[in-house]
Amino acid sequence: MIQTIRGFRDILPEDTALWQAIEKTASKLFEDFGFKEIRIPVIEKTELFARSIGEATDIVEKEMYTFDDRKGDKLTLRPEATASVVRAYIQHSMGASDAVQKLYTIGPMFRRERPQKGRYRQFYQINSEVFGIESPYIDAQLILILNELFKRLGLSELEAHINSLGCKECRPTFQKELLNFLNGKKEHLCENCLRRMDKNPLRTLDCKVPECRAAMADAPSTLNHLCEKCKDHFETVKSVLNEQHVDFIVDKTLVRGLDYYSRTTFEILTTALGAQSAVAGGGRYDALIKELGGPETYGIGFAIGFDRLAEIVAQMLNDAKMRAHNASDAKEFQDKNLYAAEFLKLVSIKTPDIFIIPLGEKATRLAYMWTSALNIAGIRTETDYSGRSLKSLMKRADKLNADFVLIAGDKEIEDNALVLRNMRTKEQYFITAENPVEQLETFLNRV
């Protein structure tokens, strides 16, 4: 049997309703905030990612799907979206028509890592990027949007972590001080951190090895070395979030694995996915657009891990289902999740309005004709062409959870009296063999 390749997977029909609901919820939210959708290719020149994400990062060093095309160009399946969106912004001089661009995009990314819970080689992200705004209000707004999205999906118990990495003015002095500190602690640091010292010393700050953590406990923090402008910027972000009642934790170890970030960085963490705790992450990248050959332009954005988000929403829905057996718990859940109730409607599974049971050859042809007419009229209708018995088709109608069954045997057609059965109430009616749409619409309205 040919199977999916490692780390790749199918999203099956039983899950796509949830995926669509999340997608709808997110794009509605973005549109409400004035964001426009952009769609970008999944393959780009390798150089784009190497230059933006950073040559020394794990992503570029060992996780990219890179190959030569027939003319020898080096191409890469995108490991993230920001680089492509920035490329598009530059390529189409989007800043020329409007300095401010608020964009979002949804699609698959590819990284060749060892698969794990919440981590796939093809995974989906919802990305948002804002160009041309220097103000910290936009930093706060992006975090607010994330917060709002999770609220609308009925999720609680997520933690927003934020930090500031400083800018090209204050970061060099900080790095110098950090390196001094690290040199004094060399014997306590793990191999990885020793390597990181040269390549990207900031990364030593978020090492998870216990000995490193201990050694780094009193390491200098970027927050104490911000220049006046960066400091003001960060203070405004925090105070705005406070005023909007968006909870957050200032986390000086939050540095992130991509090189292009400056000033504000943030991550949304969950405990629901084992080791893969980041559901969303992002930050400011004011130098990136120029770095990639564009005009000097402010930039900030985030990525939401769609697979992870879908997983924790699914977990939440399961919990809710379990608790629904207990009436008071269910009520409490509803009260706490007004938005979630709205969201639940989006996920509900569509079952047939009508299942037509044909008995006989003439009946099967009529059943097909009726089903088509009803489908075109927007009435969810199913039928069956196998010629099986009434009993087995009744069972099938029941399994599909159809509201009504229409029994159309050759006999009924002959008598011009088809049997319409309400599967909930067991009431039965006769209808004639003409104008199915009209007749059935009136019955459906009574359900």
Distance spanning both ends of the chain, measured CA to CA? 46
Q: Exposed, middle or buried, 310 (CB in 10 Å: 0-12/13-18/19+)?
A: buried
Least CB distance from residue 228 to RNA, whole Å? 28
Among 24, 74, 336, 411, the residue binding RNA under the rule CB under 7 A is: 411
In angstroms, the CA 111 to CA 115 distance is: 10
Using the rule CB under 7 A, is 391 a contact of RNA? yes
Nearer to RNA, 119 or 333 (CB): 119
Counting contacts by CB under 7 A, is residue 129 touching RNA? no
Judge contact between 295 and 95, C-beta under 8 A.
yes
Nearer to RNA, 165 or 407 (CB): 407
Report the phi/psi class of residue 87: left, alpha or beta, with left for phi > 0 and alpha for psi in -120 to 50.
Answer: alpha
Q: Which of 328, 399, 434, 445 binds RNA (CB under 7 A)?
A: 399
- Kindly identify the residues of this chain, within the stretch 132-161, that bind RNA according to CB under 7 A: none
CB of 409 to RNA, least distance (A): 3
Cβ(354)–Cβ(404) below 8 Å: yes
Q: Is 350 in the site for RNA (CB under 7 A)?
A: no
Residue 83 has which token pair?
Answer: 């680089």
- Shortest gap between Cβ of 423 and RNA (angstroms)? 3
Nearer to RNA, 276 or 439 (CB): 276
Beta strand pairing call for 65-68 and 74-77: antiparallel
Q: Quick check: 176 binds RNA (CB under 7 A)?
A: no
Structure tokens at 254: 């939050």
Residues near 33 by Cβ (< 8 Å), separated by ≥ 6?
102, 141, 145
Residue 116 or 435: which CB sits closer to RNA? 116
**Binder to RNA among 4, 20, 242, 372 (CB under 7 A)?**
4
Residues 87-126 vs RNA: string with x where CB under 7 A?
Answer: ------------------------x-xxxxxxxx--x-x-
Contacts to RNA from residues 254-273, by CB under 7 A = 256-258, 267
Residues numbered 308 to 337 that lie near RNA (CB under 7 A) are 308
User: Candidates 99-107, 153-161, 200-208, 222-230 — which segment interacts with RNA by CB under 7 A?
Assistant: 200-208
């170890």: which residue's tokens?
253
Binding positions for RNA, 43-82, rule CB under 7 A: 57-59, 80
Report if residue 303 touches RNA, rule: CB under 7 A.
yes
Mention every residue, 6+ apart, whose C-beta is less than 8 A from residue 112. 7, 62, 63, 64, 65, 121
| C-alpha torsion angle, residues 41, 46, 52, 55 (rounded to 10) | 150
Q: State the DSSP code for 324.
A: T
Q: For residue 428, what is the enclosing H or E element?
A: strand 428-431
> Under DSSP, is residue 337 helix (H, G, I), strand (E, B) or coil?
coil
In whole angstroms, how close is the CB of 270 to RNA at the nearest point?
A: 9
Coil, strand or helix: which one is 432? coil
276 binds RNA (CB under 7 A): yes
Annotate each residue in 207-246 with x if it binds RNA (CB under 7 A) or - if it does not, as one string.
xxx-------------------------------------
Q: Give the interface size with RNA as a residue count (CB under 7 A).
A: 68
Task: Please report whether residue 201 would count as binding RNA according to CB under 7 A.
Answer: no
Place of tokens 């290719």: 41
CB 60 within 8 A of CB 304: no
Binding site for RNA (CB under 7 A): 3-7, 9, 57-59, 80, 111, 113-120, 123, 125, 192, 203, 206-209, 256-258, 267, 274-281, 303-305, 307-308, 359, 388-392, 394-399, 405, 407, 409-412, 419, 421, 423-424, 426, 428
